[in-house]
Chain A
Amino acid sequence: MTAAALIAILFGMALLLLRAFIGPTLYDRILAVNSFGTKTVLALGLLGFVMDRPEFLDIAITYALINFVSTIAILKFFRYRSFQVPLVRRGQGGNADG
């Protein structure tokens, strides 16, 4: 059962990789990378159970955190063209359209 789930996840990873290769717009690629990170987290969790090492779940959780932070950083970069701008705009002095 876990093995079948692992195969399905690996197949999904291959499809997402295809989207990251040919994705016409930037957002296709951002979405592909983010989903690919999620699939990696799931694949690591399943791999831990297939290999009889459920401790891999801890590593998978750390990967989820890293994936989240880097996706936020990439999206912020493309909204503001900089990492300087705080995510919450204060007042109206913010130069939002970078």
Chain B
Amino acid sequence: MHSMFNGDFGIVLVNIFLLAILFATGVAIARMRSLFAIVMLSGIYSLVSAAWYVAVDAVDVAFTEAAVGAGMSTVVLLGAMLLTSRTAKPEKLFFRLGPLLVCLATGAALIYATVDLPALGDASSPANAGVGLTYLQVAWFETGIPNVVTPVLGSYRGFDTLGETCVVFTAGLAVALLLGFGERSLAERIRNEGRSGDHSTRKASAASDEDPS
């Protein structure tokens, strides 16, 4: 058994297990009505997908997914829940058909696109044969960083990464301004209205949701 798990077969089994967890979590998120449970499950989804990225050796993507998906977006979604009700209304069956068809079409297109992809670890694929080969040969001697992805992101494409960081920071700032984490924020106002009113925050938030529109 130990020899089996040292080979590729065990890793394939672990990948299949993680993807099965992702599938089950996605189905559960689609079926649930309690928004809080959905936020919790999306945290689990992000954690598992980050673990899966590590299992397929995309460590930098895994870091981003864990920090943004499991850490930040859970908090942002909870903040958004302050502005709305706690449960989702069930949709009629007819209105679910459109999103289902869009999902099926997108999934089919993605699966069709994977046919053209080179095999994992193919040495003659464009990613490995072109400029990537130069990075693999040169990066260690020029920077002395063991993981090749890090000098590519931080040294060779430093300005690119700086621009990306600016974009992500601006997006985060915009979300923080919209949801508000201060005394005068929309969430705090709704909360205070609910307290000074008839102690039903949901009614107050529903009323103030209709005001601007």
Which residues from chain A sit less than 8 Å from chain B, CB to CB? Answer: 1, 3-4, 6, 10, 13-14, 17, 20-21, 23, 26, 29-30, 32-33, 36-37, 40, 43-44, 47, 50-52, 56, 59, 62-63, 66-67, 69-70, 73-74, 77, 81-84, 98
Interface of B, helix, strand, loop or mixed by DSSP? helix
Q: Among A3, A33, A50, A70, which residue has its beta carbon within 8 angstroms of that of B71?
A: A70
The answer to whether B2 touches A59 (Cβ under 8 A) is: no
The answer to whether A33 touches B40 (Cβ under 8 A) is: yes
- Interface-located stretch among B62-70, B100-108, B119-127, B148-156: B62-70
Chain B positions within 8 Å of A74 at CB level = 40, 74-75, 78
Chain B positions within 8 Å of A52 at CB level = 6
The answer to whether B40 touches A30 (Cβ under 8 A) is: yes
A77 shortest CB reach to chain B, Å: 5
Q: CA–CA, A51 to B21, complex, Å?
A: 21
Chain A positions within 8 Å of B78 at CB level = 73-74, 77
The answer to whether B2 touches A56 (Cβ under 8 A) is: no
Q: Which residue of A lies closest to B37 (CB)?
A: A29
A13 shortest CB reach to chain B, Å: 7
Chain A positions within 8 Å of B40 at CB level = 20, 29-30, 32-33, 74
The answer to whether A10 touches B14 (Cβ under 8 A) is: yes
The answer to whether A37 touches B47 (Cβ under 8 A) is: yes
Given A21-B28, A51-B11, do A82 and B188 touch, yes or no (CB 8 Å)? Answer: yes
A53 shortest CB reach to chain B, Å: 8
The answer to whether B79 touches A14 (Cβ under 8 A) is: no
The answer to whether B74 touches A84 (Cβ under 8 A) is: no
Chain A positions within 8 Å of B2 at CB level = 1, 3
Q: Which residue of A lies closest to B25 (CB)?
A: A17
A57 shortest CB reach to chain B, Å: 11
Given A10-B17, A59-B63, do A70 and B70 touch, yes or no (CB 8 Å)? Answer: yes
- Interface-located stretch among B48-56, B87-95, B128-136, B160-168: B48-56
